[in-house]
Amino acid sequence: MSSPRRALAPALALTRTLALVWLVLPLAAAQADLTPAPKVKAFAGPNASADAGPDAGPDAGPDAGTLTETAPAAPARQLPVPPQRPVPGRAEINRMIDRLAQQYGVERDLVHAVIAAESAYRPHAVSPVGAVGIMQVMPATAADYGVHSIDALFDTETNIRTGIRHLRRLLGKYPVGQAVMAYNAGEGALERSGGFVTYAETQRYAHRVLTSYLRTKNIAPYSAEAQTMTGIALTPAMARAGATRPASAAVSTGTRARPLLRQVDVSKLSLRVRPTLSNRALDPAAHRTGPDSQPMFVLDPTLRR
């Protein structure tokens, strides 16, 4: 005949399991309190670039700088393929920029800032939405300026000329800040948003281009002078537009966050059980269910912290 201790072993094992569940569930629930990141939809406007730059911030309106939106996803398309031919060196590219900027009456510093953000001076760059070349010109936009061949658009001088002509047209229609936003997202997006595009990519792009441009003039990017020159109010939040919150960040509720499950050392958990039935009733195999049954054990609520 087995000893009482051995007879109680199954019940005690079950008790330990249930007690651990009772202690751990509140901790696991803390992880469920984290707010999921908002869905982000890919976007690129008529002149969007794959290299819009690392800068970025959230909001719609020149002064808020904290709310961003994302645009409809672009349909899948076959991307242009760069030609197998050499590209000019950086010194030659700089000479092209200086000459063409002067020819079309656009500040060279602004053109350099746009190119740095658009392609990082790569003549054969292609964006995920099909923008081509060093100034990331969309083929449809290039056609407006008489360039109807993708191969011709990959020519560095042709691309710079087309991009500068497009930028000049935008500058003739908008202040410099809005022109930069329109270069990235398109004039339609700028008009629909009331003159301040709230797409996260465009805010990062505009922040990068305009801060680089303002630095060449020794103007602080968030100053009143910068706002007067660009026509929009740059904010540090624009440099972080669309950035997601780290997964470990807890939702701010005004109370101290509960510890997460991974912070619990299960080996240090203690268990105290107060039996309510006889030794026989504590044997799971002998326990009978029904309206008159009693619990096999109760947990001491004073142990919960």
pLDDT of 26 above 80:
no
Q: Does 141 or 45 have the greater pLDDT score? A: 141
pLDDT tens by residue, 184-221:
999 999 999 999 999 999 999 999 999 999 999 999 99
Q: What is the pTM assigned to this prediction?
A: 0.59
Query: Which amino acid, one-letter code, is at 63?
Result: D
Contacts of 178 (CB under 8 A, 6+ apart): 190, 195, 196, 231, 232
**CA pair distance 233, 298, nearest whole angstrom:** 64
According to the model, what pLDDT value does residue 185 have?
96
Q: What is the 3-state secondary structure (H, E, C) of 15-78?
A: HHHHHHHHHHHHHHHHHHCCCCCCCCCCCCCCCCCCCCCCCCCCCCCCCCCCCCECCCCCCCCC
Six-digit token string for 18:
């249930």
pLDDT confidence tier of residue 41, bands split at 50, 70 and 90: very low
pLDDT of 304 above 50:
yes
Six-digit token string for 248:
């470990």
Six-digit token string for 284:
């799971």
**CA pair distance 181, 178, nearest whole angstrom:** 5
pLDDT tens by residue, 53-71:
333 333 333 333 334 555 5
pLDDT tens by residue, 229-255:
999 999 999 999 998 655 444 344 344
Structural contact between residues 50 and 127, judged by C-beta atoms closer than 8 angstroms:
yes
CATH match for 90-240 among 3.40.50.300, 1.10.150.110, 1.10.530.10, 1.10.10.10:
1.10.530.10
**CA pair distance 128, 227, nearest whole angstrom:** 32
**CA pair distance 212, 209, nearest whole angstrom:** 5
Segment holding 12, helix H or strand E: helix 4-32
According to the model, what pLDDT value does residue 243 have?
83
Domain coordinates in residue numbering, the chain: 4-34+253-303, 90-240
Lowest mean pLDDT among 166-180, 233-247, 272-286: 272-286
pLDDT of 139 above 90:
yes
pLDDT tens by residue, 77-125:
699 999 999 999 999 999 999 999 999 999 999 999 999 999 999 999 9
According to the model, what pLDDT value does residue 258 have?
46
**CA pair distance 221, 264, nearest whole angstrom:** 47
Phi/psi for 199 (5° steps) reads -65, 135
Q: Does 305 or 217 have the greater pLDDT score? A: 217
- In percent, the amount of the chain with pLDDT more than 90 equals 53
Mean pLDDT of the chain: 76
According to the model, what pLDDT value does residue 12 have?
65
